[in-house]
Amino acid sequence: MRAVIVAAFAAFILSILLTPIAIKVFTRLRADQPIRAEGKVPPHLAKKGTPTMGGVAFILATVVAYIAGHLVLSTLPDVQLRLTPAGPTATGIVLLGLFICTGALGFLDDYLKVSKKNSLGLNKRGKLIGQALVGAVFGIIALYFPNKAGGTVGSTYLSFVKEIYWLEIGKVGAVLLFIFVVMSMSNAVNLTDGLDGLATGASVMVIGAYALIGFWQYRHWETDKAYSVGAAYSYNVRDPLEVAIIAAAAAGALAGFLWWNTSPARIFMGDTGALALGSLIAGLAYSTNTVLLVPILGLLFLIITVTWVMQIGSFRLTGRRIFRMVPLQHHFELAGWSEVNIVVRFWIIAGLGVAIGIGLFYADFLRVVTKAP
């Protein structure tokens, strides 16, 4: 527990301190977010000149805080280290690898936007190929590199709150699904970004939920039922405490970034942050065996993505638009809602999704424990 708290607190402080530095650096470099004039959302024109690429700050804060969390683990007695690896794990490599590599892809996209002074950046095909390659590399690591006990980061079974043992998809299928989830979540968070603090606040909730899930799984870990609080119910996952540390660090870093990113934003996360956050959420879902739970936990991301698909599909098939503008948050801007109202109300939706998801996760635990002799 100490390692999780230290990681979250260290990430928060680092992010609070690093983000103003990032604001100064990217402002001097004139790395401001290009604003599309054709979007016809007048309030956005006032944001011209606000620096982007802020995701660099919370990515760096998360990595440093992860190291701090492991320094705490190195002080634990040997009896606890049986269950708590002090060194980096395959789970850490997969999660932080996804976070950093997709962040680098987003950074390239942001850099092209800034250097060309338009909102196009990396072309869609290039971005999708990059996401697929990153997903493939870490999907293979997650499925094909077991530890000494034979456990892998990902599972060959579909999962909801646990593995669904009658839905085996094999290693190849699991890697392909991993790629799909990484690409879907990366683009979902990217679509949600666009209003001050919207994607940041929603991501804090989802990633914070995974910190709770990871720690709960650690307390009820199948590897050592004797130390489990509820031996009647255990989770067959690899390195759950590692998941909790990384998720807590990322949530803390995002909370610190939100201090500067909330309205009026002093800096934007850019694709650097959005792609990184989406892929991290995908990795957290896979490493906790909650792949089918992530659409509920990420309810806001799901709604914004589905409405975007509906708009594109409707326009291509019928030539008509369902919404005034997509992503959905811009529809409400054109309807006259203030930016702060949209963000707060969308945060409420995000919070409801997280509450329902955590409730379903815990309900399954109670279902088994209450029936146990």
Per the annotation, binding residues for Mg(2+) are 190, 271
Residue 90: both structure tokens together? 């395959």
Note whether 142 and 153 are within 8 A (CB).
yes
Q: What is the Cα 36 distance to its own chain's centre?
A: 26
Tell me the binding residues: 190, 271
What distance, in Å, lies between the first and last C-alpha atoms of the chain?
29
Which 8-state DSSP code applies to residue 51? Answer: B
Q: Which two three-digit tokens encode residue 343? A: 């963000």
Per-residue tokens: 215: 């720690």
* List of residues 6+ apart from 169 with CB closer than 8 A: 156, 157, 158, 177
The DSSP annotation for 140-200 comes to HHHHH---TTS--SS-SEEESSSEEEEEE-HHHHHHHHHHHHHHHHHHHHHHH-SSTTHHH
In degrees, rounded to 5, the angle at the alpha carbon of residue 343 between the alpha carbons of residues 251 and 37 is: 110
Give dist(CA 59, CA 272) in Å, integer: 9
CA dihedral 117, 266, 105, 18 (to 10 degrees): 130
What distances in angstroms separate CA 319 from CA 314, 334, 366, one per listed residue?
A: 7, 20, 50
Nearest CA to 135 out of 160, 169, 162, 99 is that of: 99
Provide the 3-class DSSP secondary structure of residue 221: strand
Angle between helices 198-219 and 170-192 (to 10 degrees): 140
The letter for the amino acid at 66 is Y
The whole-angstrom distance between residue 167's C-alpha and the CA centroid of its chain comes to 25
Dist CA 311 CA 98 (whole Å): 30
